[in-house]
């Protein structure tokens, strides 16, 4: 007899000896009562033989007492063979991580490398036509999955490596992550994948906005100098990996992130349904359940192979652990019918952690938490927000149960018994409240950002017009003013009540401050924003700050700020144009002309910069040169009175009065008696 004498983990026993057709994994929500465990211990005495390998039988390794456990090399104490492929997979995942580190080091040393081999990079291919290494990798991975099944997740994903590491560490601490089973949330990965990779194209197709084609023009982006451009900062990457790789495992089970958050898994799972490559079974299977007990992807292996002759669950990552541990060597990887051609069956009853009402509440909590957390403070990326939302859902529902149920446990911790909440229960509640409270606070900040953005989008004053003169009040309609005041209020709440500097709200708040005539406050706000931004958003904040400083007459500060903007983004031509104005006002006229000339060389259509060079040439008594640039400027100046007025204002500030007067007159002619001021 097997296991009568084996020290048995309750979960394993439960899995092994239930009727295979009705078998389920113990859901994470229920917890185990002592009576429950005792029942299964007793039940184990009646099990059939054949659930132990020939090796153990031959070696006489079955102990005489139930508490002794098996002590035989290559076997766990529960009598299940240890997986031999586990080591190979660990080696593959460690090698993968070492390659990733080597990739970063090579880029840091050489300044140039292959673009990130990350599936998320595919978004840039689909939206902008950038053919990069991530796109090629993801395409090949999906093709391979269509043939061999979902193996890339198990053998080549760095987040899965973290999840496995976390599971391993927890087991070393005697904690066995239990799967949280939801009917609805399992659709999150596929939904997220469609949102990331399909929705942008569908949106372009139907919104009919802008000149961008549906299928972009493809360009080569296989090599990059800015490897980290699309990744979060290290300060964000560390909590990101901690939440996705560890927190999700602790609360949702060994593959918590894969099951409820990973968008790439959504596509791999779908492709797996078409693949002929599957874990398959021979008649040697005697339904012992070792495979199911070993599978960390929560697949009911023994039940599926009995019903279908193969594993059909798209969560199977082809880790081969079940193949390795089967005491009868009944499993193998082989080709045959894909899942889609398997006859439908309802025989395998799955048990879930949630009732239907809880599923619906859970889905709403997930959505609310995701919207609250995603992009908050411009810090939380999409995948991290999905991971956070899944954990929040678990915590909300478990806390709810804690107050309603008479008995509840979590891992080996007894949270509540006989209606009394224990110390562990209180610790759980405190943690859950802190986590949920943080989510609610993020939601509050995002809510005010949202309302601020609505107001922001209602103000249609062009930047050039607003920046032509220090106080743009004359261009604001009463409704613009109303929207700006309201929007400023929301951005102020979002930025002052936040726990971190709000990179998202601050630049827009600064713009509203400027539009309301408080330019001095606006440059301060932009300084704070830019200090916490990076790349393009930082460059833009610095550009606007430099432009406003120019209007304020603080030319030295403006020049320094514009230099910072250009250091961040060398291709920000408008910053070059503004920098030329700072230099001109500082009396460094040759440098100003050289900066404007550089700007025009990069973009000959810059009407203002062409005029500025023409004005400078006139001031240096070079009429022929002035003529060339003036003609070039006229060629690209739209026949719009406001545009002429903007150019006139800027030239007037620089003391280029002849050209300024010309454009004031043109503005007046194009809009006789209209709203364009004839001058100043």
Give the footprint of ligand SF4 on this chain (CB under 6 A): 279, 281, 285-291, 294-295, 297, 299, 301-302, 305, 311, 316-322, 326, 328, 330-331
* Least separation in angstroms between CB 13 and ligand SF4: 14
When the beta carbons of 279 and 509 are compared against ligand SF4, the nearer one is 279
**Residues 614 and 633 sit within 8 Å (Cβ to Cβ):** yes
* Least separation in angstroms between CB 123 and ligand SF4: 28
Q: What angle do CA 14, 20, 26 make, to 5 degrees?
A: 35
Neighbours of 274 (CB within 10 A): 14
120 Cβ contact partners less than 8 Å away, ≥ 6 residues apart: 134, 196, 230, 383
When the beta carbons of 115 and 287 are compared against ligand SF4, the nearer one is 287
When the beta carbons of 300 and 467 are compared against ligand SF4, the nearer one is 300
When the beta carbons of 152 and 376 are compared against ligand SF4, the nearer one is 152
* Least separation in angstroms between CB 89 and ligand SF4: 9
* DSSP states of 34-100: HHHHHHHHHHGGGPPS-SS-HHHHHHT---SSTTT----TTB-TTSPBPPSHHHHHHHHHHHHHHHH
Angle formed by the axes of helices 589-602 and 607-619, nearest 10°: 150
* Least separation in angstroms between CB 83 and ligand SF4: 8
d(CA 449, CA 513): 16
117: closest CA among 141, 137, 93?
Answer: 137
Q: Which contacts (CB < 8 Å, 24+ apart) does range 39-46 have?
A: 40/8, 40/10, 40/13, 40/14, 41/8, 41/10, 41/13, 41/66, 43/13, 43/17, 44/3, 44/4, 44/6, 44/8, 44/13, 44/16, 44/17, 45/1, 45/4
* Least separation in angstroms between CB 281 and ligand SF4: 6
Phi, psi of 113 (to 5 degrees): -160, 180
When the beta carbons of 154 and 668 are compared against ligand SF4, the nearer one is 154
At 122 the three-state DSSP class reads helix
Residue recorded with tokens 């958050």: 261
**Residues 504 and 449 sit within 8 Å (Cβ to Cβ):** yes
* Least separation in angstroms between CB 295 and ligand SF4: 3
At 153 the three-state DSSP class reads helix
Burial call 641-658: b when 16+ CB within 10 Å, e when fewer: bbbbbbbbbbbbbbebee
* Least separation in angstroms between CB 117 and ligand SF4: 23
d(CA 364, CA 385): 15
444 Cβ contact partners less than 8 Å away, ≥ 6 residues apart: 497
42: closest CA among 15, 13, 69?
Answer: 13
Q: Which is it for strands 277-281 and 331-335: parallel, antiparallel or unpaired?
A: antiparallel
d(CA 629, CA 11): 81
When the beta carbons of 120 and 294 are compared against ligand SF4, the nearer one is 294
When the beta carbons of 305 and 539 are compared against ligand SF4, the nearer one is 305
* Least separation in angstroms between CB 181 and ligand SF4: 15
Residue recorded with tokens 């961040």: 568
When the beta carbons of 288 and 376 are compared against ligand SF4, the nearer one is 288
For residue 356, what are its two tokens? Answer: 């239907």
Ordered strands of the 420-421 beta sheet: 408-410, 413-417, 420-421
* Least separation in angstroms between CB 94 and ligand SF4: 18
When the beta carbons of 12 and 599 are compared against ligand SF4, the nearer one is 12
**Residues 93 and 161 sit within 8 Å (Cβ to Cβ):** yes
HSE toward the beta carbon, residue 492, CA cutoff 13 A:
10
When the beta carbons of 333 and 413 are compared against ligand SF4, the nearer one is 333
Residue recorded with tokens 């460094």: 588
* DSSP states of 213-244: -SSPPPEE-SEES-TTTTSPPHHHHHHHHHII
When the beta carbons of 70 and 526 are compared against ligand SF4, the nearer one is 70
* Least separation in angstroms between CB 96 and ligand SF4: 18
For residue 534, what are its two tokens? Answer: 């990076």
d(CA 160, CA 144): 18
When the beta carbons of 151 and 555 are compared against ligand SF4, the nearer one is 151
When the beta carbons of 118 and 321 are compared against ligand SF4, the nearer one is 321
When the beta carbons of 154 and 498 are compared against ligand SF4, the nearer one is 154
When the beta carbons of 160 and 466 are compared against ligand SF4, the nearer one is 160
* Least separation in angstroms between CB 25 and ligand SF4: 12
At 334 the three-state DSSP class reads strand
When the beta carbons of 317 and 505 are compared against ligand SF4, the nearer one is 317
169: closest CA among 101, 245, 102, 235?
Answer: 245
* Least separation in angstroms between CB 330 and ligand SF4: 4
* Least separation in angstroms between CB 318 and ligand SF4: 5
When the beta carbons of 162 and 618 are compared against ligand SF4, the nearer one is 162
């Amino acid at each position: 007899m097997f296991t009568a004498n084996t020290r048995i983990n309750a979960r394993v026993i439960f899995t092994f000896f239930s009727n295979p057709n009705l078998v389920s994994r113990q859901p994470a929500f229920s917890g185990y009562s002592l009576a429950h465990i005792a029942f299964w211990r007793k039940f184990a005495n009646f099990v059939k033989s054949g659930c132990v390998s020939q090796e153990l039988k031959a070696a006489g390794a079955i102990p005489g007492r139930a508490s002794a456990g098996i002590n035989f090399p290559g076997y766990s104490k529960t009598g299940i063979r240890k997986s031999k492929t586990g080591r190979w997979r660990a080696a593959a995942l460690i090698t993968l991580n070492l390659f990733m580190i080597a990739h970063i080091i090579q880029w840091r040393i050489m300044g140039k490398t292959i673009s990130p081999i990350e599936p998320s990079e595919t978004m840039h291919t689909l939206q902008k036509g950038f053919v990069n290494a991530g796109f090629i990798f993801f395409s090949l991975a999906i093709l391979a999955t269509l043939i061999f099944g979902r193996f890339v997740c198990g053998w080549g994903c760095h987040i899965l490596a973290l999840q496995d590491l976390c599971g391993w560490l927890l087991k070393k601490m005697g904690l066995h992550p239990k799967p949280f089973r939801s009917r609805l949330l399992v659709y999150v990965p596929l939904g997220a994948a469609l949102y990331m990779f399909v929705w942008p194209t569908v949106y372009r197709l139907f919104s009919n906005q802008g000149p961008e084609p549906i299928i972009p023009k493809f360009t080569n982006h296989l090599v990059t100098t800015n490897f980290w451009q699309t990744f979060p900062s290290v300060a964000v990457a560390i909590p990101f990996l901690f939440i996705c790789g560890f927190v999700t495992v602790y609360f949702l089970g060994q593959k918590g992130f894969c099951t409820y958050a990973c968008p790439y898994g959504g596509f791999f799972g779908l492709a797996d349904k078409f693949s002929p490559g599957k874990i398959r079974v021979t008649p040697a299977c005697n339904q012992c359940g070792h495979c199911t007990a070993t599978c960390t992807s929560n697949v009911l292996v023994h039940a599926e192979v009995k019903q279908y002759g193969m594993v059909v669950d798209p969560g199977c990552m082809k880790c081969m652990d079940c193949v390795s541990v089967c005491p009868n060597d009944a499993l193998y990887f082989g080709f045959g019918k894909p899942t889609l051609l398997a006859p439908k069956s309802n025989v395998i009853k799955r048990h879930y952690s949630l009732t239907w009402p809880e599923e619906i509440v859970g889905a709403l909590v997930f959505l609310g938490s995701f919207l609250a957390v995603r992009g908050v403070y411009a810090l939380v990326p999409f995948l991290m927000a999905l991971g956070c939302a899944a954990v929040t859902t678990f915590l909300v529902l478990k806390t709810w149960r804690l107050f309603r149920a008479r008995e509840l446990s979590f891992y080996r911790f007894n949270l509540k018994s006989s209606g009394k909440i224990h110390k562990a229960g209180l610790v759980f509640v405190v943690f859950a409240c802190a986590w949920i409270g943080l989510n609610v606070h993020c939601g509050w900040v995002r809510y005010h950002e949202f309302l601020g953005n609505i107001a922001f989008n209602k103000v249609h004053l062009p930047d050039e017009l607003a920046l032509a003169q220090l106080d743009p009040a004359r261009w604001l309609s009463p409704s613009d003013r109303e929207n700006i005041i309201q929007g400023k209020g929301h951005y102020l709440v979002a930025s002052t009540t936040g726990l971190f500097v709000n990179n998202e709200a601050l630049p827009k708040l600064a713009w509203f401050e400027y539009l309301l005539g408080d330019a001095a406050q606006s440059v301060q706000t932009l300084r704070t924003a830019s200090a916490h931004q990076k790349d393009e958003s930082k460059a833009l904040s610095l550009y606007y700050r430099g432009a406003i400083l120019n209007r304020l007459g603080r030319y030295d500060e403006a020049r320094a700020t514009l230099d910072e903007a250009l250091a961040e983004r060398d291709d920000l031509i408008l910053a070059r144009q503004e920098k030329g104005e700072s230099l001109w006002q500082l009396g460094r006229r040759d440098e100003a002309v050289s900066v404007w000339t550089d700007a025009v060389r990069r973009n000959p259509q810059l009407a203002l910069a062409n005029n500025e060079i023409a004005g400078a040439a006139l001031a240096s008594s070079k009429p022929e040169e002035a003529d060339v640039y003036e003609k070039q400027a006229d060629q690209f100046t739209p026949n719009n009175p406001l545009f002429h007025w903007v150019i006139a204002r800027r030239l007037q500030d620089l003391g280029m009065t002849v050209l300024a007067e010309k454009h004031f007159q043109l503005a007046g002619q194009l809009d006789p008696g209209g709203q364009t001021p004839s001058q100043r």
